[in-house]
Amino acid sequence: MRPQCSIAQCAQLSFVTAVAAAQAVRSFTAQVEVKWPNDILVRSRKIAGILLETAGTGTPDYLAIGVGINLANHPGESLFPATSLAALGVAVPSAGEMLSELAASFARWYEVWRDDGFGSIRSEWLKQAARLGEPIRARLAESEMSGVFEGIDENGALLLRQEQLTVTIAAADVYFGS
């Protein structure tokens, strides 16, 4: 894509994509949640992941959004348990069927983001957030923090409550439990 947005605004498209991917997966199975910052879960197992790549500074020259959804297979041993539609006992759609669902859902949510801003996306994402209000661990580049997942701020950063202090985290890997 060639969106007309700053790098920071374009990062919000990770949440747009998460809401869209969750909706696409939900058209085939239930119990779908989003995990900060860019995973889709079913029954607390990762079924999809999202990756954004940009080129350029300020306003990116382009933005590539990658979405991987486990249809027939999934990784075995991993830091975060994974699953697939097949492992859930769901009739596995073709890649084309899933892509059609994802494309239609992304087009809808991208329009909401473009027309209404991040607030609507943030609200929808929070409705689907895994472990909101529960203990999590955030693994940063140089350290790890534990606390209660309070939500995301107006830019999509994770809000982690530690005793009387809420910490804002822009980038980390999240694990469940304290």
**pLDDT tens digits, residue range 86-120?**
999 999 999 999 999 999 999 999 999 999 999 99
Report yes or no: 34 and 129 within 8 Å, Cβ to Cβ.
Answer: yes
Burial pattern 126-140, b for ≥16 Cβ within 10 A else e, equals: eebbbbbeeebbbee
Domain 135-176 is of which CATH architecture?
Roll (2.30)
**pLDDT tens digits, residue range 22-43?**
999 999 999 999 999 999 999 9
Q: Which fold has domain 7-127?
A: BirA Bifunctional Protein; domain 2 (3.30.930)
CA distance 111 to 163: 39
Q: What is the pTM of this model?
A: 0.94
Residue ranges of domains in the chain: 7-127, 135-176
**pLDDT tens digits, residue range 43-89?**
999 999 999 998 877 788 889 999 999 999 999 888 789 999 999 99
